[in-house]
Amino acid sequence: MADSTLPIGGAIDLTPQSEVYGTWLEQVHDWVVTADHKKIGLMYMAYALIFLLVGGVEAILLRIQLAVPHNNFLSPEVFNRIFTMHGTTMVFLMGMPLIIGFGNYLVPLMIGARDMAFPRLNAFSFWMTSLGGLFLYYSFIGGVGLQGAGSAPDVTWWAYAPLTERAFSRGHSTDYWALALIISGFGTIGAAVNIIATTLCMRCKGMTLFRMPLLVWLNLVVAGMILITISPLTAAQIMLVIDRYLGGHFFDSQAGGSPVVWNHFFWIFGHPEVYVLVLPAFAIANEIIPVFSRKAIFGYPAMVAASVGIGLISLSVWAHHMFTVGMNSASNAFFVLSTGMVGVPTGIKIFNWLATMWGGKIRFATPMLFCNAFLIQFLFAGLTGIMLSVAPWNWQLHNSYFVVAHFHYVLVGAIVFCFPGGFYYWYPKMTGRMLDERLGKWHFWLFVVGFHMTFDFMHVPGLLGMPRSIYTYEPGRGWDGWNMIVSIGGAVQAVATLIFVYNLVHSYFKGAEAGPDPWDAWTLEWTTTSPPPAYNFASEPVVSSRRPLWDLKHPEDPDSRYE
């Protein structure tokens, strides 16, 4: 089968590399001091999964409290701490490590490199991110101890001034929020520098920019966005610490500062942040949909342009989160238009995914199911986003549960669908074993039902005027029944997630042997063993198309004919 004109990484070494040596302590030591991108990637993923469960438990606590009116399961103080921690956790301790974990594991393999450009910076970045998360969670026991959720931050995940000024936030809860995110932010910036340097400088022979898998392109765009957007957030957090301890007045309107300046700084980071989280989900769909449709992606150049386009436009829309702060109509109009423009490249992506599936031989294995559900949900999430981007409509629904439903549709609908799909697809490569397909189908269908019960019906009380961030509500306002359905949906999502966790653990020991290329795919990671050897490739691969492994398997129909 081997084609002499295309040696990929030299001879394919098929001996599984799963032997682990030494005592468990030596193995732990090995992971703690490792600079191997695969191990660091897996540690990021494990970290993210742990915080998905923690953030999920927090969501369930919130939904128990809100299931019925006038509930006193959680006190108002604890409710504020739990929803602030839920939002902060899901974005910074689940979402960010998950996208960086997948990027870390896959990018060097997909471009034919042995490792990231700066392996030790890579390890440093992971441990900084972990330290930030642990410091944030120490707040639950810091100060007064666990009762009342300790000193956990209670000022929402956007920490609006003046709530965060010392006059209002006396203890250290806001300090935990600011310092923890400054620490983990250094880790994130380090990871972004590594992804950019690796993608631009470590590609194997023949891997031109326009032969890179789309996942690598999207990680490159995301890394660029991280460098541009984490910096303003870190700067604002440092200004906040100066306000709280060094007599600064950046956000203190009583002393010439302005709380609205904090809003601008936060959302200059905050809106691109949702794309930093969602574009890697797109990246996973870009790899899975073609392989399970048995067709190359439709419109590769347009997909690259759309990804870069989304990245650039998303830097210009931030104040659509601030239509109610009193900007003048020219500013409102600018942000209405710039937000509408995001719909164009997003539409191109959705069209190209559908065009890729059109006429394909589609296999609805679990990875493909998750990506298809994402495709439909993201369309609806985008539509409610367009609705909210129209200022007069936004004035009615700002800070309501319609907004909470919308951003969960985006975040859960993209991240918590595509990344499990990515796990079902790449877990065989990472572990050498297949995830159980039957459990996968249970996970998928239960999660689909739970997702739609929770977030479809969450829009309704929002339209009926229910504000967010309230720990309880009056009966008889037409919100009761909807909130009960939403909470039951949350419980169904929890059960589905537990099935997923069981599948991840059980398959590691009992899963079917995977072999190097279980899905008959065509990117470089599938040319190595499962799991890949520590050195990735015995010799540097040489590629001549976007689908190097396809060329090896189909010398009669090389992909290079289509470039």
Positions that interact with Cu ion (CB under 5 A): 271
The only residue of 63, 211, 320, 433 in contact with ligand HEM, by rule CB under 6 A: 63
Q: Which residues contact 25 (CB under 8 A, 6 or more apart)?
A: none
- Give 270 or 432: the residue with its C-beta nearer to ligand HEM: 270
Residue 403: contacted member of ligand HEM, Cu ion, none (CB under 5 to 8 Å, by partner type): none
Distances 34 to 277, 462, 464, 474, 495 between C-alpha atoms, Å: 26, 48, 53, 54, 34
Is 84 among the residues that bind ligand HEM (CB under 6 A)?
yes
Structure-token pair, residue 441: 């189908």
Is 86 among the residues that bind ligand HEM (CB under 6 A)?
yes
The only residue of 163, 306, 411, 430 in contact with ligand HEM, by rule CB under 6 A: 411
Is 83 among the residues that bind ligand HEM (CB under 6 A)?
yes
The only residue of 468, 480, 484, 540 in contact with ligand HEM, by rule CB under 6 A: 468
The only residue of 105, 157, 275, 500 in contact with ligand HEM, by rule CB under 6 A: 157
Q: Where are the alpha helices (DSSP H) in 67-154?
A: 76-88, 96-110, 119-138
- Give 38 or 408: the residue with its C-beta nearer to ligand HEM: 408
The only residue of 42, 62, 189, 322 in contact with ligand HEM, by rule CB under 6 A: 62
Task: Say how many Å lie between the first and final Cα of the chain, rounded.
Answer: 23
Residue 404: contacted member of Cu ion, ligand HEM, none (CB under 5 to 8 Å, by partner type): ligand HEM
- Give 300 or 323: the residue with its C-beta nearer to Cu ion: 323
Residue with tokens 């609205």: 260
Residue 156: contacted member of ligand HEM, Cu ion, none (CB under 5 to 8 Å, by partner type): ligand HEM
Is 490 among the residues that bind ligand HEM (CB under 6 A)?
yes
Distances 322 to 254, 259, 391 between C-alpha atoms, Å: 21, 12, 9
Q: How far is Cα 235 from Cα 331, in angstroms, rounded to an integer?
A: 24
Reduced 3-state DSSP string for 300-351: HHHHHHHHHHHHHHHHHCHHHHCCCCCCCHHHHHHHHHHHHHCHHHHHHHHH
Q: Which residues in 88-107 contact ligand HEM (CB under 6 A)?
A: 90-91, 95
- Residue 151: other Cβ atoms inside 10 A: 22
| Residue, CB closest to Cu ion | 271
Residue with tokens 């460098």: 227
Residue 271: contacted member of Cu ion, ligand HEM, none (CB under 5 to 8 Å, by partner type): Cu ion
Burial 56-77 (b: 16+ CB within 10 A, else e): bebbbbbbebbbeeeeeebeee
Where on the chain is the footprint of ligand HEM (CB under 6 A)? 56, 59, 62-63, 83-84, 86-87, 90-91, 95, 156-157, 404, 408, 411-412, 415-416, 454, 468-469, 490, 493
